[in-house]
Structure 1
Amino acid sequence: MHRTTTDQLGKGSRLDTSTLASIATFAAYFIVMIAIGIGVYNRTKSLSDFVLGGRRLNSWVAALSANASDFSAWLLLGLPGAIYLSGLGEAWIAVGLGIGFAASWWLVAGRLRVYTERVTDARSGGDSDSLTLSSYLENRFADRSGVLRLVSAVLILLFYLFYVASGLVAMGGLFNQVFGMPSSAAILVGVSIVVLYTFLGGFLAVSLTDVLQAAMMWIALLIVPVVGILAINADPDRNAAGLSDILGGVEGSVGDALAPMVVISGLAWGIGYLGQPHILARFMGIRSATDVRQAGAISVTWAITAMVMAVVLGFTGAVYFQSPLDNPEQVFAQLIQAVLSPWVAGLLLAAILAAVMSTADSQLLVGASAITEDGYRAFVKRDASATSLVWISRGAVIAIAVVAAWIALSGNNTIMGLVGYAWAGFGAGFGPVILLSLYWRNMNRAAALAGMVGGGATAVLWDILDNTGISLGPIAVGPLETGLYAMVPAVAVSLLGIVVFRFAGRATLQMHDDFDRVEREFTGSPGVLKR
C-alpha cells in the first residue's frame, strides 16, 4: 500500500504540552523503578537472592514477570512495525510465539523448578539448588569437568549482549521520537536507569518492577488500537482503504503471507521459548511447582491477548498514516502522539519505555549470574562469601551493560534483527537440550554438549550462509537464499547432535536416580498436572 500525503502529528503548544507530559510521566516512572530497587536492597543478602529472588515468587509475580521480561520492545515496537511494513506475513511470528509460550509453561516450568533444586551437585553431592541454567546442566549431567557449564555460560553472554543491545536501540528510538534527543544520548540515559535499579535490588527488584511494567504494556496495547480505529472510522479518506491493502501492510501483499518459508519461519519463533534463560529463570524462581498451573494460566492469557492487540495495532498504523513512516518500528509511538491527548500520550509512551526496560533488566541479571555463578564461583573461588558474590554480580551487570551499549551505538541495527539473532541462538542452543533433559532419562553429557554447540553455532552461521555464503579457499558454499529463519536449521542440527552423540557417553546411576526422584516429586505434587 503506497502513501502520497503527509500527516502532521502536532504543532505549537500541543507539541510543547505533549513533551512536558512525557517528561513528567517518564520522570515519575524512573522514580518508582529506582524506589523499588532501593526498597528491596536490604533483602538481597545472598547470590540466590540476587539471581533468583530466593525462589519465593508467587504465581502472579512469576507470571507477569515472565511476560514483561520476554515481550518488551519486540511486542510494542518490533512486531507492530513488522506488521505495519509487511502485513499479515509477520503475524505468523505471533502465532508461533503463542503456541511456544504455552508449551514452555506446560512442558518445562514445573519440572525445571523441581529439577534445579533437587538434582545432585556434580562436585560436592547433595541437593544442588542450581541457580543458573549452566549450573543445572552441569549437575543434571554429572559433569565434573566444567565443560558444559563453561560452554553454556559463553553462549548466554554472547547472545545476551545482542539481546540487551536490541532494548537499547529501542530506547534510543523512543527518546528520539518523543524528545528529539539523539539516539546515542538516549541509550546512555536509559541504560543508566536500568543498571541502577538492577544493581540495587537484583532479581526481586526486577520481578516486582516487571509486574508494574506488564500492566502498563497491556493497557497501552488495549487503548491505542481502539482509539486509532475510531479515528480511522471518523475520517472518510482513511476509511477508504481496501482489505487487501490493509492486510498487506505498506510494502507487502496478502499472497506473501502464505508463502511456505514465511509460515515456517514465523511459526519457528515459538521453539525459542524452550531455551530463553531470562524466562526460564522465572520458572526456577517460582515459589513451588504447585504454583505453576495458576501462573501459567495468567501468563499465557496475558501473552496471547497482548500479541493479538499488537498485530491489530500494526494494521491500524498501516491505515492511519497516509505516507510511509521513516522508521516503521516507531509506528506505536507515532500513533500514540497522533490520536491521544498529550497527558495520556505521555503515560502510554512511558509504557513503551517500561517494555524496553523490563527485558533489558532481566537479561542483564541472567548475564551477570553467568559471570558470577558459572565463571567466578565455579572456576575461581568456589567458597567465595555471599556478600562478595553479590557485589561481583553487581559489577557484572555494569560490564555487560557497557558492552551492549557499545553494540547498540555501532548503528545499522533494528530491534527485530537483533532480537531474531539472539532468539534463535538461545532457542536452538538451549531449547532442545533443556526439554530433553527433563524428559529423557538416558540423555548424557556428550549429547547435551553436542546439542548446545551445534545449535548455537548454526544459529550464528546460518544468516551468513543463507545471505552471503561462506568461502573456504577453493570451497564456496551459498548463498542459499532460502529466506528461512535460522531457528529451523539450528534446532534441526541441535537435535541431530543430541541423538548422534548420545552414543558417545552414558548416563550414570546417580543421573538415573535423580531423574526418577524428580519425576516422583513432580507428578506427585498437588495441583500439578500429571503428564
Structure 2
Amino acid sequence: MRSKNYVTMMDPLQETFGDTMGSILFIPSLLGDIFWFASILASLGATVRVILDVSGYISIIISACTVILYTLLGGLYSVAYTDVIQLLFMMVSLWICVPFALLNSASENIAYTAVNKVFQEPWIGNIQSQYIARWLDDLAYLSLGGIAWQIYFQRVLAASSSRQAMVTSYLAGAFCAVLGIPSILIGAVAASTDWNQTSYGLPPPYQRNESNMILPLVLQYLCPTYVSVAGLGAIAAAVMSSADSSLLSASSMFAYNIYKKMLRKRASDREVLCVMRLSMILLGSAGTGLAFLSNSVYDLWFLSGEVVYALVFPQLCCSLFLPSTNTYGSMAGFFLGLVLRLLGGENSLKIPPLLHYPGCIFEDGIYVQLFPFKTFTMLVSLITIIVMSYLAQFLFMKKILSKRWDLCNVFYKERSHPAPHELEERETLHNT
C-alpha cells in the first residue's frame, strides 16, 4: 500500500470494487472510529471521577476540545509528534505507579496469588476446555481485526518508504507488548489485595461489577495521592494519543474517499483539507456526545470492531492480494457476512441469537455462542467474495448473461485505473 502512494485504506477498496461499494465499506470503519473516540473519552471521565472526585463530564469536554483543536491545526504532524510525547509520558507514569501498588501493605505477593487462592481465585486464571474455541476466536479477532483500520494505515502510508513502514509496524507490535506489562501487574495487584484494609471496603471490585474500573481504583486506594495524579496523567496521555488518531482517521477517509471521489471529484486540495477540518469538528462533537453514554459506547465499539473484522478485513485482503475479484463478489460477501453476524446475536446489546451455532448454550438467562462464529463469518465472507467474483466473471465472459445485466459495469467497461494526473494528484495529497 505504501509503494502505491495510497492516501487512505479505502483507496485499494475503491480501485478494486468501485466507489459505491467502497463508500459502503467506509460505514463500519467510520462507526468504529467514532465509537472508539467516545469510549476512550468515557474511560478518562470515569478515571477522573474516581481519583479526583470531579464530574467526568468536565474532563470529557476539556479533553475532546483539546484533541480537536490541535488535530485541527496540525493534522498528522501534530498527531505524530504529540503521540511520541504522550506514549513516553504514559509509559513512565504507569511504571512509577507499579512499585507503590506492589508494596502496599494490603496486597499479597502477586507471585504467590498467581497460583494460590487468597482473597479470590488465582489471578493467572484458566481456560475451560469448552471455551477454547471462543478464546481462539477472540485471539483471531484481536490479531487480524486490528489491521483493517485507517488509524494504523495513516501511519504506514505516511512513512518515508515501504521498508520504514514495515520496520515501524514490527517495532510498534513489540512496544505494544511492553506497554501492556504495567497493566498486567496492576491487575494482578488488584486481585491480590484485601480491599477490606482499604477505605474502599468490601465487597471487592469484581463482586461490585467494577472490574472495568480497576486501574483508577488501584491508583486511588493503593497509591499515594501524588502517584495517583501521575497515573491519571498517563491515562489522559493514552486517551489523547488514541483520540487524535481516530479523529484524523475518520475525517481523512470522509474527505478524500467520499467527498472528493464521489461528491465533488474536481475539488481542489485546499477544499479537501477544509472539508477534512469541518468533518473533524462534526465527528469529534458526535464522539463527545456519545462519551456520556459510558458503558453502552464500549459495547457499540466492540460490535463495530467485529463488523470491521468480519466484513472489511476480507475485502481488504482480496483487493490487495486477489485483484481479479470484483464488485459482485464484494457485494455478496459483504451482505452475507453482515447477515451472519446479525443472526449470531450480541449479548451486550441484548440482541438474542437467531442462529444457534454448534455448542451454543443457555447460561444465566442468555445464549452464549461457544462456536468461533466471528472468524467463521469472516471466512464465509472471504470465500463468498472469491467464489462469486469468479462466478460472475464466468457468466459474463462466456456470455451466459447478457451485458445489460452487468449493472456495475465491471466486465463491459474498462476497469478504472488511476490516470497519470490522478496519480500525481494522489502524491500531492499524500505529501500534504
The TM tier, using the shorter chain, reads: 0.7 to 0.9
Q: CA contact under 8 A between 1:194 and 1:361: conserved in structure 2?
A: yes
Identity %: 20
1:198/1:361 contact within 8 Å kept: yes
Q: Is the 8 A contact 2:107 2:192 kept in 1?
A: no
Cα deviation for residue 256 of structure 1 reads 4.4
Q: Does 1:266 align with 2:155?
A: no
Q: Which has the larger radius of gyration?
A: 2
2:153 counterpart letter in structure 1: L
How is 1:36-435 mapped onto 2 (pairs within 5 angstroms)? 112-115=1-4, 117=5, 130-139=6-15, 141=16, 143=18, 146-231=19-104, 241=113, 243-245=115-117, 254-256=126-128, 259-268=131-140, 269-320=142-193, 322=195, 323=202, 324-325=204-205, 326=208, 327-413=210-296, 415=298, 417-435=299-317
Q: 1:329 deviation in Å? A: 2.2
Q: Hey, what's the Cα distance between the residues in 2 that align with 1:351 and 1:257?
A: 37
The gaps in structure 1 that reach 5 residues or longer are: 1-111, 118-129, 472-477, 515-531
Q: Per residue, is there more helix in 1 or in 2?
A: 1
C-alpha change, 1:337 and 1:185, in structure 2 (3 Å) is same
1:288–1:470 Cα change, 3 Å: same
Deviation string for 1:326-384 (max 9, x for gaps)? Answer: 53222222222344443343222111111112222111111112321122212222222
Unpaired segments ≥5 residues, structure 2: 196-201, 356-361, 394-409, 419-432
Cα gap change, 1:258 to 1:393, in 2 (>3 Å)? same
Asked if structure 1 preserves the Cα contact closer than 8 Å seen for 2:108 and 2:193, the reply is no
Amino acid across the alignment from 2:261? A
Deviations 1:141-197 (A, max 9, x none): 163xx2122112222223322222211211221221222222333322221121111
Per-residue deviation, 1:254? 3.0
Q: Report how far residue 511 of structure 1 moved.
A: 7.6
| Whole-Å separation in 2 of the counterparts to 1:450 and 1:218 | 45
* RMSD over aligned Cα atoms: 3.5
Residue 211 of structure 1 aligns to which amino acid in structure 2? V
What amino acid is the match of 1:374? N
TM-score (norm 1): 0.63
Structure 1 residues 158 and 418, CA, compared in 2 at 3 Å: closer, same or farther? closer
1:469 aligns with 2:358: no
Measure, in 2, the Cα distance between the counterparts of 1:455 and 1:338. 46
Q: Distance in 2 between matches of 1:300 and 1:246?
A: 34
The whole-number CA distance in structure 2 between the counterparts of 1:464 and 1:221 is 34
Q: Is the 8 A contact 2:39 2:294 kept in 1?
A: no
- Take 1:409 and 1:440, find their aligned partners in 2: how far apart are those partners? 42
CA distance in structure 2 between the aligned counterparts of 1:389 and 1:344, rounded to whole angstroms = 45
Taking a change above 3 Å as real, the CA distance of residues 464 and 513 of structure 1, as seen in their structure-2 partners, is: closer
Q: Which deviations, in whole Å up to 9, do the C-alpha atoms of 1:189-243 show, x marking residues without a partner?
A: 22112111111111221121111122223234434334322336x8669998572
Structure 2 letter corresponding to 1:386 = D
- State how far apart, in whole Å, the 2-side matches of 1:370 and 1:187 are: 25
Aligned-partner residue type, residue 135 of structure 2: V
When residues 367 and 513 of structure 1 are mapped into structure 2, their CA distance, relative to the original with a 3 A threshold, is closer
Structure 1 window deviating more from structure 2 (275-284 vs 155-164): it is: 155-164
8 Å contact from structure 1 (residues 165, 408) kept in 2: yes
8 Å CA contact 2:107, 2:193 repeated in 1: no
Aligned amino acid, residue 328 of structure 1: S
Deviations 1:93-119 (A, max 9, x none): xxxxxxxxxxxxxxxxxxx2113x2xx
Return the offset for 1:483. 4.7
Q: Distance in 1 between matches of 2:123 and 2:131?
A: 15
